[in-house]
Amino acid sequence: MSHTFIIAEVGVNHNGSVDIAKKMIDTAKACGVDAVKFQTFVSENLVSRFADKAEYQKETTGNDESQLAMIKKLELSYDDFSDLKRYAESGGLEFMSTPFDHGSIDFLAELGMDIFKIPSGEITNLPYLMKIAKLKRRVILSTGMSTLPEIKEAIDILRKYGTTDITLLHCNTAYPTPYVDVNLNAMKTLRDSFGLPVGYSDHTKGIEVPIAAAALGAVVIEKHFTLDRNMEGPDHKASLEPDELKQMVTSIRNIEDALGSYEKRLTESEAVNRDVVRKSIVAKCNIKKGEIFSEENITVKRPGTGISPMAWFTVLGQTASKDFQEDELIKL
């Protein structure tokens, strides 16, 4: 299995603070991820002033303000993102940010961002898909809430307008996602249907599902994280804390090693055990030279350094060439 690209999703969990965002970059690096991802938007270009909050947002932030008022407090400036990109890259992390409006697409393109992550909510946004496609950059497309025909149409648009490097992410957009709604087996359906690399964007509470997704061949894993789940904001409750993120990354790296190749072979680590735990044909009792080997005087015991029990019928009926003590390895 090749290296799984792990994205630590900051999203808006910086709560509008560059200092918190930088602490999160430092944390993500310490946890061993490959990339750190934000969300870039101008609030007024993203949400109508009449838009209601999502149910999970009402649960986490109350219902006393509009969605626009809520996300305005979480907005960072373009200059902030320029600073964060430099900071992330200086620490060896890939900087990513999902744009939510056309101006933010232009800004991130000019900033030199290599990978554009298209969120599930934009998969039916034709002008948005066209604009990103024309950049001819790498695209990661989340497929939450989508049907196969909708996914196909989005892929066709991206390809038509210039994008060829596309990775799909299986996703469920419920925050948090109930385990019964994860449907990880749909990753195979996406691979078979579109012939594209497939990863997984996770919104469950724990780390088991992204680990399982890696075991099923996810080439990308994306997971929200926070410095503290008790912080104010819409997404903290459904995010991992630093120790959990580190555990997830470590587990996925272990899974990569464990999957190995498709070859069934004797490995170095188990070769030293083979002779110890396998068995050989030995004397069941004292045997005199000239006696005939029979089921009454030979048996099978450890170690496996003598004649293999698979040669049992070859040994039976032969004549002992020497005296054998009980438990001594039989030699022909």
Q: Is residue 331 part of a domain?
A: no
Verdict on whether the full-model pTM lies above 0.75: yes
Torsion of CA 262, 264, 269, 270, to 10 degrees: 160
Mean pLDDT (the chain, rounded): 95
State pLDDT tens for residues 270-313: 999 999 999 999 999 999 999 999 999 999 999 999 999 999 99
Domain termination site, one of 259, 276, 305: 259
Q: How many domains, in total, are found in the chain?
A: 2
Q: What is the mean pLDDT of residues 189-213?
A: 97
Tell me: do 197 and 300 sit in the same domain.
no
Domain that holds residue 310: 268-315
Q: Tokens representing 20?
A: 């918190």
Tell me: do 274 and 250 sit in the same domain.
no
List the single range of 29-38, 88-97, 229-238, 291-300 with lowest mean pLDDT: 229-238
> CB under 8 Å to 153, separation ≥6 — which residues?
none
State pLDDT tens for residues 4-27: 999 999 999 999 999 999 999 999
Tell me: do 226 and 283 sit in the same domain.
no
Q: Is residue 10 part of a domain?
A: yes
Helix-strand-coil split of the chain, %, nearest 5: 40, 20, 40
Tell me: do 189 and 291 sit in the same domain.
no
Tell me: do 246 and 139 sit in the same domain.
yes
Pairing of strands 280-283, 220-224: unpaired
CA-based torsion, 112, 115, 121, 122: positive or negative:
positive
Tell me: do 208 and 241 sit in the same domain.
yes
Confidence of residue 175 (pLDDT cuts 50, 70, 90): confident
Q: Is residue 212 part of a domain?
A: yes
Q: Is residue 332 part of a domain?
A: no
Distance from C-alpha of 32 to C-alpha of 246, rounded to nearest angstrom: 7
CATH number where 204 lies: 3.20.20.70
Distance from C-alpha of 187 to C-alpha of 120, rounded to nearest angstrom: 15
Q: Is residue 194 part of a domain?
A: yes
Tell me: do 242 and 143 sit in the same domain.
yes
Q: Is residue 249 part of a domain?
A: yes
Q: Is residue 329 part of a domain?
A: no
Tell me: do 40 and 188 sit in the same domain.
yes
pLDDT surpasses 80 at 132: yes
Percentage of residues in the chain having pLDDT higher than 70: 100
At residue 54, the pLDDT reads 73
Q: Cβ distance 200 to 184 under 8 Å?
A: yes
Tell me: do 239 and 299 sit in the same domain.
no
pLDDT surpasses 50 at 249: yes
At residue 1, the pLDDT reads 45
Q: Is residue 34 part of a domain?
A: yes
